[in-house]
Amino acid sequence: MLQAVKDYLKITWDDEDASLQTMIERGKAYLNDLVGKELEYGVVLPADEWYETELAAILTQLMEEPEEPEAPMTIAEAIDLILAAEKQRDKQVVMPTPAASLLLDYCRYVHNNASEYFEENFARELLRLQLQVGVSELGVAESSG
């Protein structure tokens, strides 16, 4: 989550990592308290990062010598794998969880010394998240009870 916050705030240096991590933990505690439950703060890997990882693996496989007597990967096979990876990348939709999205905005407000306006400006999103959690908790309680 630290890297996601740094990317969101356009921070490229590492000097503030400790204070940003503290800010993230405070934000998680704040949002969990508002909602009344431990939230999921997952951020999906951006499609471009996934693609770069796949591309690196394909190129590595293309460049290395095979240990077994099988034929090495041909350039045509590598191109087919790259095109398949591009199709997969284009299908991916990257969306942070609602809690992660709110946490990023909370960190933006705190970082810009405007934390007192966060709850007021995000009241609708906070209420929506509280209702989603409440409805999901109600469904769990009904199915187990």
pLDDT tens per residue, range 7-64: 999 999 999 999 999 999 999 999 999 999 999 887 655 666 777 888 888 888 777 7
pLDDT at 105: 96
| Domain residue limits at 131 | 2-43+98-144
Determine the average pLDDT of the residues in 72-91.
79
Q: Are residues 11 and 34 in the same domain?
A: yes
Query: What gap in Å lies between CA 110 and CA 88, rounded to an integer?
Result: 37
Q: Is 41 exposed, middle or buried (0-12, 13-18, 19+ CB in 10 A)?
A: buried
Q: Are residues 65 and 81 in the same domain?
A: yes
Q: Which residues contact 24 (CB under 8 A, 6 or more apart)?
A: 1, 2, 5, 103, 107
Q: Are residues 105 and 126 in the same domain?
A: yes
Task: Evaluate if residue 116 carries a pLDDT over 60.
Answer: yes
Q: Are residues 57 and 87 in the same domain?
A: yes
